[in-house]
């Protein structure tokens, strides 16, 4: 049984979850090559839709995602990747999770403090 | 600040997570109307890409998803919806989570028992 890469133009949706805390850290997309590299290397690798190329998460920041378990859903167009996150956060804006804004009273509000200084890690490139 | 519905043809990716256990239950997609209905009604509503229409999760099964909290990610093209799931499972195949297959030794294997009989709930329509 293989993943269905056809439904979304060659990509599957990849939900990244901290294997220890259960926190959802980010959502990315994988083409067939990114998925294969994720499995083979044990580090989460995505396909960047904006840059149109493979993207080893943590390549520049060092904040790699060590794969612990991979699941797929009933229609096989999404994967759930449980990881150990190396580093204080996965978000290039400095937060532990990319989901750092919560809906409250009709507005999106930042609901947590930064876990690290993104300028120090990404050198202002983020 | 509004969600970015443009990046994926009018849709945002919606990750559904059990608010109590942290389990990721399913991934769906929402257009602007589905997102608005989710917020206004308090029940997760999706846009079905295959049927090209709005879809109130649980409309036929009764297994609705009560919204507890909604977050969005740094580029605002995905939402994380924490829910209380009414009913034994969200997957139309009878499982608690749609992510019931786990990668093991290169194969996807069903890694849990069914939580309910889908034929009894969906009347064989699933």
- The pLDDT score that the predictor gives to residue A123 is 76
B78 has a chain A CB within 8 A of its CB: yes
Residue entry with tokens 């709930």: B121
A92 has a chain B CB within 8 A of its CB: yes
- The pLDDT score that the predictor gives to residue B16 is 98
- Among A56, A35, A78, CA closest to B106: A35
In angstroms, rounded to a whole number, what is the distance separating the alpha carbons of residues A61 and A56?
A: 10
Please report which residue ranges of chain A form alpha helices under DSSP H: 32-41, 118-122
Nearest to A70 among B27, B98, B103 (CB): B103
Contact between chains at A72 and B108 (C-beta distance less than 8 A): yes
Distance from CA of A24 to the nearest CA of B (A): 8
Contact between chains at B24 and A80 (C-beta distance less than 8 A): yes
Contact between chains at A7 and B71 (C-beta distance less than 8 A): no
- The pLDDT score that the predictor gives to residue A124 is 57
φ, ψ dihedrals at B5, nearest 5°: -85, -5
Is the Cβ–Cβ distance between B90 and B63 less than 8 Å?
yes
The two structure tokens encoding residue A28? 């990315």
Task: Provide block-wise average pLDDT over 10 residues at a time, chain B (126 residues).
Answer: 89 98 98 97 96 94 96 97 96 97 95 94 67
B73 has a chain A CB within 8 A of its CB: yes
SS3 of residue A95 by DSSP: coil
- The pLDDT score that the predictor gives to residue A125 is 53
- Among B64, B83, B88, B94, CA closest to B15: B83
A78 has a chain B CB within 8 A of its CB: yes
- The pLDDT score that the predictor gives to residue A126 is 44
Contact between chains at A22 and B27 (C-beta distance less than 8 A): no
Residues of chain A falling short of pLDDT 50: 126
Helices (H) and strands (E) in chain B, counts: 2, 8
- The pLDDT score that the predictor gives to residue A90 is 96
Nearest residue of A to residue B82 by CA position?
A: A24
- The pLDDT score that the predictor gives to residue B123 is 76
């Amino acid at each position: 049984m293989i993943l269905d890469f056809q439904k979304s133009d060659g990509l599957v949706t990849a939900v990244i979850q901290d294997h220890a805390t259960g926190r959802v850290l980010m959502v990315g997309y994988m083409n067939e090559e990114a998925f294969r590299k994720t499995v083979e290397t044990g580090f989460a690798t995505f396909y960047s839709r904006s840059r149109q190329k493979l993207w080893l998460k943590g390549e520049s920041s060092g904040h790699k995602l060590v794969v612990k378990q991979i699941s797929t859903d009933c229609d096989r167009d999404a994967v759930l990747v449980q990881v150990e996150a190396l580093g204080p956060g996965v978000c290039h804006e400095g937060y532990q999770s990319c989901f750092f804004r919560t809906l409250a009273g009709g507005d999106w509000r930042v609901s947590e403090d930064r876990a690290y200084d993104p300028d120090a890690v990404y050198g202002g490139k983020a």
